[in-house]
Amino acid sequence: MELRDRAAIVTGGAGGLGAATVRHLVAAGMGVVIFDRALDAAEVLAKELGAKAVAVGGDVNDDDDVGAAVRAAQELGTLSLVVNVAGGGVHAGRTVDRTGAPHPKDAFVSTMAMNAIGTFNVTRLACAAMSTNEPTADGERGIVVNTASIAGLEGQTGQVAYAAAKAAILGMTLPMARDMAPIGIRVCAIAPGTMGTPLLMSAPDSITKPLVESVVFPKRMGKPSEFALLVESIATNPYLNGENIRLDAALRFPPK
């Protein structure tokens, strides 16, 4: 799909991967809604980028907030791309720890909500709006790019909640693509490895150096701009659909 003069929503758009994606899409000529709970940070980014970017504060699991983001995007152009980046891990712990204590159920549930349920909620509402778009020559009305993690494929010790949430996002890709084929919406997911977000890059070497030990080549953390480039590649390649794409420089997580 040609991106210029169309509109996008990027959830978690004020964070590391999200902000890089917002900048990249604006540079490609799109109007972009920066949808994030951190409204102050979203507004700073929107001010930096000018009239093509609009900040909308809200929660991905709140239908009214998502609706506000959809309407804001439609004011910027034809809403044609949704990039779900919002998520994260709120609890690290074993299913049963060495003392015999079970993993807190509420931490598991909240991690699923933040990642898998939020991704599903934004997708269902945004795609309902995109279904009314005028189709391209290929019959295309929109694209969804979800953000998983290689933890969803090879979660490490203590990552049971996060890994399950990201695995759920990976599991949505093909059925969503099949569900939305009749309305001309493609769906793919990106599974990043260790990405050098500004927050992580500000950490001391004692934390960052071990994170690249298992990276094959190039032997470094991924750049947020490389994530954004893959988003653009998915959006502009009309035959790319139903795929989970690793972005990890051949990294495979060890057990710990």
Q: What is the pLDDT of residues 141-151, one digit of tens each?
A: 999 999 999 99
The C-alpha atoms of residue 200 and residue 72 are separated, in whole angstroms, by 31
The C-alpha atoms of residue 79 and residue 70 are separated, in whole angstroms, by 8
The C-alpha atoms of residue 197 and residue 171 are separated, in whole angstroms, by 25
Q: What is the pLDDT of residues 211-231, one digit of tens each?
A: 899 999 999 999 999 999 999
Task: Tell me what pLDDT residue 90 has.
Answer: 65
pTM of the prediction? 0.95
Catalytic residues: 162
We find that the CATH architecture of domain 6-195+222-245 is 3-Layer(aba) Sandwich (3.40)
Cα dihedral 108→111→115→120 (10° resolution): 50
Q: What is the distance, to the nearest Å, from the Cα of residue 103 to the centroid of all Cα atoms in its chain? A: 26
| pLDDT tier, 203 (very low <50, low <70, confident <90, very high otherwise) | confident
Task: Tell me what pLDDT residue 92 has.
Answer: 85
What mean pLDDT do residues 148-162 have? 95
pLDDT(77) > 80: yes
- Extents of the domains making up the chain: 6-195+222-245
